[in-house]
Structure 1
Amino acid sequence: MIHELKTESKYFKEVCKGKKTFEVRKDDRPFKVGDTLKLVEYENGRLQYAECDVTITYILGRNEDEKKYVPEGYVILGIK
């Protein structure tokens, strides 16, 4: 599955360079390991027409014992 997500410029660039290997997101979609995140760059609330695709490699925050590390209603997605 492909999830298209708005991403602030400063984070978008770090993901595309491979330096930022995680995303903290609301758990409001059926994210699964192996899914693609199509990150779309936004700056000052405006679309920058740049995209970067990454793959979800890990999901932290859905298991009961992990919830102490992640705010309620959010997940940390490992990406590459």
Structure 2
Amino acid sequence: MPDHLAGPTMRQKIFSLNLDVETVSLYLLCCAIADAGAAVTVEALADKWNGDQVSLKRELKRLEQKNIICKKQAEAGTPAQYQMVDDDQWS
């Protein structure tokens, strides 16, 4: 998984996958949060997401299904975090 300290997280490949605009937008938002050094959580995303919670969760699920992001196990009392997956592992 890319390290945000090694350079930008965003991969150009996202634009060639024929994904919905909302899915790509959420991916870009995840990248921006990760590149800022913050944890990519539902709460962090919801603060910046223009849609409702239903659309946010739907697009997160789509990104997970394509193995573009993955959810890390959360410790007790902490929100789940998402990590970006290397683009050579996307499906």
Shared fold, TM over 0.5: no
Question: TM-score per shorter chain, which class?
Answer: under 0.3
| TM-score when normalising by structure 2 | 0.25
Higher relative contact order (CA 8 A, sep 6+): 1
User: Which structure is higher in strand share?
Assistant: 1
User: Which structure is higher in helix share?
Assistant: 2
